[in-house]
A and B are shown apart, each in its own frame.
Chain A
Amino acid sequence: MGKPPKTEWDNACTQVGACALTGAVGFFAGIPDAAVVVNGPLWCSFYARRHLERQCPSLAERFFCSQADNEAVVYGTEACLTETLRLVRTQCVPAVLLIINNCSVGLIGDDLAGIARQADLPCPAICMDGGGLIGGFWDGYRAAAKAYFSQMPLAKRTLIEPGSVNLLGMSVGYYNAENDRRELQRILALAGYRTLTCPGADNTVRELTDLSRAELNVVVHEELGGELARQLKADYDMPYVSLLPPYGIKDTLSWVNLIGARLQSRPCPVTDLLRQEAERRHREVRTAVADMERIWGDLWFEQAVVAAPGSVAMGLARALRREWADIGALTVVAHDALPAITLPQQADRILDGTGDSKAIQECLSNLAGGLLLGSGSEMAFLRQHRVTGTVCRNIALPVYDEIILDGWPFMGLRGATRWLENLLNGFAAERRKGE
């Protein structure tokens, strides 16, 4: 064996992207009384489960796999799927069941709905194809949301609750999403608004039937929830607004204002409570931040890259430059391609994560001493290419080197405080290493 094997092989590539099967499972994972059957091999189901399980620990109890094998692909999956549906019936009582083919089983054209009908299930079954042939995580989530609301009827939109909203496009498949959802609901409550539902991120099947009673749909992540908002507008005439998610104090207040502007029943949202909390948080951190900057220098990065699903990357980039740090050149990488919303002027360069890989690699290669807000994939690239002195923070899955247990969100007012803490601590740690 030639030298030097260790350094040559220790940097195995860890680029990971989730396929549509994971996205579809992600939507149903966010419905606590939904169960999921992956009709395919164990590998596909394990990948989806592992991607989502840390964010959604209950998934394991309502997640099944038919373990289709070669024979099933030749003769059909009816036998193994029927056996799995029998297992579902004995192990849980779901309110809705997703049956999803992996990509190769999808090609053989089994009649999933027919097999489900024969299985005498205690709940509606939503059947669809998944996998890489459909696309990435976002495509799967959108397809699953569409399939769910096409098949599961909502209450008629006769009684509208004033000052109520739904948050669309949130998912346990996004990093720290559960904490963000709670923070957004808290902020909205401070503003006097009620969050009725967050489809695919919290509510049961029964709760979701009330979705149509909300006055307004608020799209938090356009790449996940934009299409659903348009579908609900077409089917139920529900108005919607699609905004970048609110990171930082200014953007949070602005987010609430923009929602208020669309809510005819209560148009003046920034209440004293909200304003007071914003001011208090600003006041409380001011001295500590100034002290840190006095010791370690001001929070300045010559280069910064923000890489995440489009809405997350755009929203964080905006708050980063407007509120938290000074940046020489700021590049935004949208993992899922560019979202169909107004792009913030704060980014100097916006790259498409699905197509600009060479440009992204160049950007990351030049990030020594800079700032990376990204996922484990970008961080693995920095390690592999020995790019040093970079302050790195996780904002998107996959994440390998961090857990968040204390409930802190990334979004909203609480998130703003956390980000300042996060960036200053990372900045000081890198400076100390360089001494």
Chain B
Amino acid sequence: MIANSCVAGVIGDDTEAVAKEAEEKWRLPILAVPCHSFLDGDFHAGFYHAAKALADRFMKPLSRQKIRQDNQAALLGERGGPASRDLVEMQRLCRYFGFEKFCLFPAYASIREMKRIPESAVSIPLSGTPQGFPWTKKLASELQESFGVPWLEHDYPVCWTRTQNWLESLGDLLGKRQAARTAIHEQTVELNEQLEQLTPCLQQKRIAFCIGRSRLLFDPAWVFELIELSGVQLAAVVLLSDSLTPKQQAELQQDLPSQTTAPVLLSNEADEIMASVDFVISTHELTDTTLRQLFLPFLPLVGVRGLTNILELMARLARRQGNRGGIIYG
């Protein structure tokens, strides 16, 4: 796979022709991605093009001898490798629907494993941002078109409402609504147990939620739900002026009041509130070392266990003794 840098894009190299020529010479599959670093989109664009090139080259529609594997799901996207906590949680949720085998694509998959993707009963997008989801959807829908693999039109399960929705949608798609109901019931029990254990120390705590990412990169809905579930009191949403353009700030100022009743302030209006809160939840590391900060992961964590993980970190901050500030990374 030849990935082009922006330099190759500026000088206009015909990398695909080079790949074709090299393939003939060396008799090895050599692919090129038709995009060039930041010139043709972001990470997700490149990821899609690489996946598309691999699918076009190595995947074949099911032959008559091959049957679709009801217990196999294709997970499209990248969440830190097969041993990451998000992938482990995703697979745990999928097992409610009888899935036992998982094909990752395009990362962390051998060519042999990629060839098995068309046998999957379903493909499930993993993206996690408003910016990335359209690309993952595009890949999933093209896999359906080319190989008949149905796909779940839902970004991955985040926080509690979206986890329930995700489970319901997957149940609907597979015709396994009872499995979805069982999953939701068991996850509700698990969540309630965790809330009972983790949230007592969070009650009555006042926090600020600092946002420095634009709407394209960050959907704050799951954080508002997390705040509500945790029992903390949201004193204010603070827009980090250093990290947002005036246009991005205006967009967020317009959107956020529909998601929270807390005041939405710009950083230069928030000094008093920031000094009075017990801790802050933030998309960016704040330079004030006296603040207790929970730094949100760029991609939200998956499922009830992802939610629990963040609640544990909030509880640690709430229980911190003395006036020690600092950042806990989510």
Contacts and interface: CB of A to CB of B under 8 A. Distances in A.
Interface of A: 1-2, 5-6, 9-10, 12, 41, 43, 60, 68-70, 73, 102-104, 107-108, 131-133
A69 B7 contact: no
B220 interface: no
B82 A104 contact: no
Q: Which of A68, A69, A73, A132 has the most CB of B within 10 A?
A: A73
Given A2-B113, A6-B82, A41 B38 contact: yes
Contacts of A102: 6
Given A73-B39, A104-B5, A6 B11 contact: no
Contacts of B103: 1
Interface string B7-30: 101110000000000000000000
A5 B102 CA distance: 11
Given A2-B110, A2-B112, A70-B40, 14 more contacts: A1-B109, A5-B82, A9-B81, A9-B82, A9-B108, A41-B6, A43-B37, A70-B38, A73-B9, A73-B10, A102-B6, A103-B6, A104-B6, A104-B9
Contacts of A103: 5-7
B32 interface: no
Nearest to A10: B83
A12 B108 CA distance: 10
Which interface class (under 10, 10 to 19, 20 to 34, 35 or more) fits B? 20 to 34
B113 A104 contact: no
Interface string B207-233: 000000000000000000000000000
B104 interface: yes
A342 B104 CA distance: 53
Contacts of A43: 37-38
15 contacts: A1-B101, A1-B103, A1-B113, A5-B81, A5-B82, A6-B83, A70-B38, A73-B39, A103-B5, A104-B5, A104-B9, A107-B10, A107-B11, A131-B7, A133-B7
Contact of A9 (B37, B83, B101): B83
A134 to B, nearest CB: 12
B320 to A, nearest CB: 21
Interface in B269-313: 287
B37 A104 contact: yes
Contacts of B101: 1
A69 B36 CA distance: 12
Nearest to B242: A91
Interface string B176-188: 0000000000000
A43 B82 CA distance: 26
Contacts of B37: 41, 43, 104
Contacts of A12: 81
B102 A104 contact: no
Contacts of B40: 70
Given A1-B113, A73-B39, A108 B83 contact: no
Nearest to B107: A9
Q: Which of B5, B9, B37, B110 has the most CB of A within 10 A?
A: B37
B82 A1 contact: yes
Contacts of A10: 81, 83
Interface string B73-112: 0000000011100000000000000000111100011101
Nearest to A2: B113
A2 B38 CA distance: 34
A191 B41 CA distance: 58
B76 to A, nearest CB: 13
Contacts of A6: 82-83
Q: Which 4 residue pairs spanning A and B have beta carbons closest together?
A: A104-B6, A5-B82, A41-B38, A6-B83
Contacts of A69: 38
A60 B287 CA distance: 10
A68 B113 CA distance: 38
A202 B109 CA distance: 48
A141 B112 CA distance: 46
A144 to B, nearest CB: 20
Contacts of B9: 73, 104
B275 to A, nearest CB: 21
A5 B83 contact: yes
Nearest to A43: B38
Interface string B101-134: 1111000111011000000000000000000000
Contacts of B38: 41, 43, 68-70
B81 A104 contact: no
Contacts of B113: 1-2
A108 B9 CA distance: 11
B74 to A, nearest CB: 10
A108 to B, nearest CB: 6
